[in-house]
Chain A
Amino acid sequence: MGRIFTTDHRALGVLYLYLALAAVAVGTVLSLLMRVHRVWPNAVIPFFGVMKPEDYLALVTMHGTLMIFFVLTTAPQSGFANLVLPEQIGARGMAFPRINAAAFWLTAVAFLVLISAAHITSGGAPISGWTSYPPLSALPAAGPGQGLGMDLWLVSIGVFCIAAWLSAANMLATILGERRAGMTWTRLPMTVWAWLVASILTLLAFAVLLAAVVLLFSDRHFGSSFFIPMGDMINGRVVGHGDGSPLLWLHLFWFFGHPEVYIAVLPGMGLATSLFANFTRRRVAGYRMMAGMLVAIGLLGLAVWGHHMFVSGMNPYAGTAFAMVTMAIAVPSTVEVIGWLATLWGGGLRLQTPMLFALGFLSFFIAGGLTGPLLAQPALDAYLHNTFFVVAHFHLIMAMAGVFSVFAGIYYWFPLITGRMMNETLGKLHFWISLIAAYGTFLPMHFAGLAGEPRHYDRLMGPATSFPSLIPVERGITFSALLLATAQLLFLWNVFSSAHRGRRAEANPWQATTLEWAGGAERGRIERGPYEYELPLSGNGFHPQWETASKEE
């Protein structure tokens, strides 16, 4: 029993990664079902039958919820931080190991509740999307799956919020209080800065989501009208008796929703900086700037939520205000990208698999991030909002960049967890196929969006004149998606076979400087910065952070 309810942070990190793996497997299968349906709408799904429109929307809802919450908020943040954060700051362990463990188990419970929403209810899973706008999500009669399925979704998310709160409080207490002597702010690895900012965002954002979920639950069961307006009707019956505001949900949700996407991508940004330093053998030029930009992105990220609501009934002046702040947040992101590109510029890269995935992260970050300033302009967003252009944007910058950062982390830290290396050939194959298939999946979506194709349509039908010509595009996307999913089998095979039969790793296989690679080295005071790599011309020397600084320096 003690082994299952372990409080060892390394074991918890691995458990989080397993949970994320389960979630991403389910989420991927759901997305493949969606894609197949779009291209062959009358196909008979084994064990299921023909997909109805509400089934498609249920798939969309569950896919989004699983991927965003249970993959991108757990793996890069809780998963990896539990694996290496205490070591990276020279601490003995997390500040509150039992709270940390409780957070994991609550997350697991939330996952099970969410899965049950699709299976144990007669109506099925909810169909209102991961954003669950009321009144659609507030009125059980508004659609199939909006009854018990929606309630279970709310319970799952509520439990997840509490788990996230506990996890973030633990992480912040650890980063602020458990650093070893000499581990000053400017000696922190960039991953720690990223986890710090992401934890602050988690603390602030999930609390607001929890409040929104509580209010929505109250609307559904206690006769309140926080979100249901007066005179609201469903199926010919008047159900709205109080003066609620659906826009209130949008504000509360997106106040959470925007920081959430930064929580998903910031750890990847920190990891990219670390990996670029490691595999170019160069110090991070402008370390303070890079760390400061992570903080700036986090802070600004709390002020831009309205850009999801430009055409949702918000005051147009507010739209302008949010547009300006959103454009401003492009600046620190640009500084980060320029920093990475500058680090890479000199060449001489060690193109091992973790580095390849870090480069892939950069590629997706740029491709997806560049459409951000476009969508930040309300006049253009008025056309592109809720079209496939937005789907392309967030899948590139959040899903693909985020997932590639998780891959990079797994390939990188695999020797630390298992003492063995993952297979390089399989890794490189995995990388290239995934990269190309991902672009093949998501780049054409930009064009579909420009053609006006809206989101959440289970099939293209009706008088829209451009839709028939989009069908070949859809087919291409589906085939790329199938290829992308299949390529992940290479990864799974690599992980599980290398764990048993992989080449044994030496002590610091990547010749890294950060403390998690110190092994059993001396636990003295920290005297070095996090990325003291020597420029290649003066040899391949480097000074790990656990080395003492010699007097000559």
Chain B
Amino acid sequence: MPATFTRNQVEIERKDPGIGGKPPVDRRPTGGGGDGDNWDNHPRGRGGPRELLIRYRLGVLFALAGDLMFFVALVSAFFVRQSTGHFDIHDNFINDWRPLAVPPILWLNTAVLLLSGLTMETARRQLFHEIDVMEEWLGLGRPAVKRAAPWLVATLSLGLMFLAGQWVAWEQLVREGYAFISPDPSSHFFYLITGIHGLHLLLGILALAGALVGLFTLKKVEFRQVAVDSVAWYWHTMGLFWIFLFVLLVFFQ
């Protein structure tokens, strides 16, 4: 046992909170951090315990803002295409848009995606549950991970189910004669819109899988929170986009 515990100047300045400091905990309903003290002795000048979380949330926000503009452009093309036509030799305005009846399985897919949103949010909140996070930070096991992991797996499965359902919808359309390479504009848009959304969702599933792996491999609880939080906001946004696109395809043709 050391003879003295005289703290030197640096240690006193670092305000070593010892075991009584607070880990990053999301107390607010939508996520947040602890109070501002230097619980993990990081160098001064940083933005606080929520710095990493805020940084990643900002990144995801702006990336999704650009993505939103992409979808807005496609949707505006969708509306323009519905109304363009030509005058035939008898001066009648001919418009070749035949509204496509959405395959009924799409309703099921939508329900599945909404459900996956619920499971995703539940998973996200598990990672900010104060007591569990505190225990992880103290090194006493990983209760937050244990609680969140099944919900992430559930979201992953539901996401895969959604994509499978979209694929089935495509097969149904092809069987009815509406392939992608065809002169029919409304089927073009159907494939384009569902395809691009599906691609985004596939990326989300890969990110989910990555977060799941990260839950077990990342060292700091803060990193685990950021991983799941970022994926969760992306997932919710893709769900929101889908609701808009689905309403568009069903009601606005």
Which residues of A line the B interface, CB within 8 A?
A: 95-96, 99, 165-166, 168-170, 172-173, 176-178, 180-181, 203-208, 210-212, 214-215, 218, 222-226, 229-231, 241-245, 248, 251-252, 255, 523
Least Cβ–Cβ distance between A523 and chain B, in angstroms: 6
Q: Does B14 contact A (CB under 8 A)?
A: no
Q: Does B19 contact A (CB under 8 A)?
A: no
* Beta-carbon contact of B58 and A244 below 8 Å: no
In the bound complex, what is the Cα–Cα distance between A252 and B97 (angstroms)?
21
Residues of chain B with a CB closer than 8 A to A173's CB: 55, 58-59, 62
Name 19 A/B residue pairs within 8 A (Cβ), A-sorted. A99-B59, A165-B66, A169-B59, A169-B62, A172-B62, A177-B55, A178-B55, A204-B66, A207-B66, A207-B73, A211-B70, A211-B74, A222-B188, A223-B182, A226-B77, A241-B183, A242-B183, A243-B85, A243-B86
Q: Does B96 contact A (CB under 8 A)?
A: yes
Which B34-72 residues have C-beta < 8 A from chain A?
A: 45, 47, 51, 54-55, 58-59, 62-63, 65-70, 72
Number of interface residues of B (CB under 8 A): 37
Residues of chain A with a CB closer than 8 A to B97's CB: 243
Q: Is the interface of A mostly helix, strand, loop or mixed?
A: helix
Beyond A169-B63, A203-B65, A207-B69, is A215–B77 a contact (Cβ under 8 Å)? yes
Q: Choose one: A170, A243, A252; the contact of B185 (CB below 8 Å).
A: A243
In the bound complex, what is the Cα–Cα distance between A214 and B192 (angstroms)?
10
* Beta-carbon contact of A226 and B59 below 8 Å: no
Q: Does B140 contact A (CB under 8 A)?
A: no
Residues of chain A with a CB closer than 8 A to B96's CB: 230, 242-243
Which residues of B line the A interface, CB within 8 A?
A: 45, 47, 51, 54-55, 58-59, 62-63, 65-70, 72-74, 76-77, 80-81, 84-86, 94-97, 180-183, 185, 188, 192, 196
Beyond A204-B69, A245-B84, is A177–B54 a contact (Cβ under 8 Å)? yes
* Beta-carbon contact of A222 and B181 below 8 Å: yes
Least Cβ–Cβ distance between B126 and chain A, in angstroms: 25
* Beta-carbon contact of B181 and A203 below 8 Å: no
Q: Choose one: B69, B80, B181; the contact of A223 (CB below 8 Å).
A: B181
* Beta-carbon contact of A168 and B66 below 8 Å: yes
In the bound complex, what is the Cα–Cα distance between A539 and B47 (angstroms)?
38
In the bound complex, what is the Cα–Cα distance between A243 and B83 (angstroms)?
9
Q: Choose one: A222, A230, A523; the contact of B180 (CB below 8 Å).
A: A222
Q: Choose one: B45, B69, B80, B181; the contact of A208 (CB below 8 Å).
A: B69
Q: Looking across the interface, which residue of chain A has its beta carbon closest to that of B87?
A: A230
Least Cβ–Cβ distance between B172 and chain A, in angstroms: 20
* Beta-carbon contact of B77 and A252 below 8 Å: yes
* Beta-carbon contact of A248 and B54 below 8 Å: no
Least Cβ–Cβ distance between A137 and chain B, in angstroms: 16
Residues of chain A with a CB closer than 8 A to B70's CB: 207-208, 210-211
In the bound complex, what is the Cα–Cα distance between A211 and B68 (angstroms)?
11
- Supply 17 further A-B pairs (C-beta < 8 A) apart from A223-B183, A244-B84: A166-B63, A168-B66, A169-B62, A169-B65, A173-B55, A177-B54, A180-B45, A181-B45, A204-B65, A215-B74, A215-B77, A218-B188, A224-B188, A241-B183, A243-B85, A243-B96, A245-B81
In the bound complex, what is the Cα–Cα distance between A241 and B181 (angstroms)?
13
Residues of chain B with a CB closer than 8 A to A204's CB: 65-66, 69
Chain A to chain B: the 3 pairs with minimum beta-carbon distance, closest first: A211-B73, A207-B69, A207-B70
* Beta-carbon contact of B73 and A243 below 8 Å: no
Least Cβ–Cβ distance between B187 and chain A, in angstroms: 10
In the bound complex, what is the Cα–Cα distance between A210 and B84 (angstroms)?
22
Least Cβ–Cβ distance between A263 and chain B, in angstroms: 14
Q: Choose one: B62, B65, B95, B185; the contact of A224 (CB below 8 Å).
A: B185
In the bound complex, what is the Cα–Cα distance between A205 and B66 (angstroms)?
8
Least Cβ–Cβ distance between B77 and chain A, in angstroms: 6
* Beta-carbon contact of B73 and A95 below 8 Å: no
In the bound complex, what is the Cα–Cα distance between A230 and B85 (angstroms)?
8
* Beta-carbon contact of B73 and A218 below 8 Å: no
Residues of chain B with a CB closer than 8 A to A168's CB: 62, 66
Q: Looking across the interface, which residue of chain B has its beta carbon closest to that of A202?
A: B66
Residues of chain A with a CB closer than 8 A to B182's CB: 223
In the bound complex, what is the Cα–Cα distance between A336 and B250 (angstroms)?
49
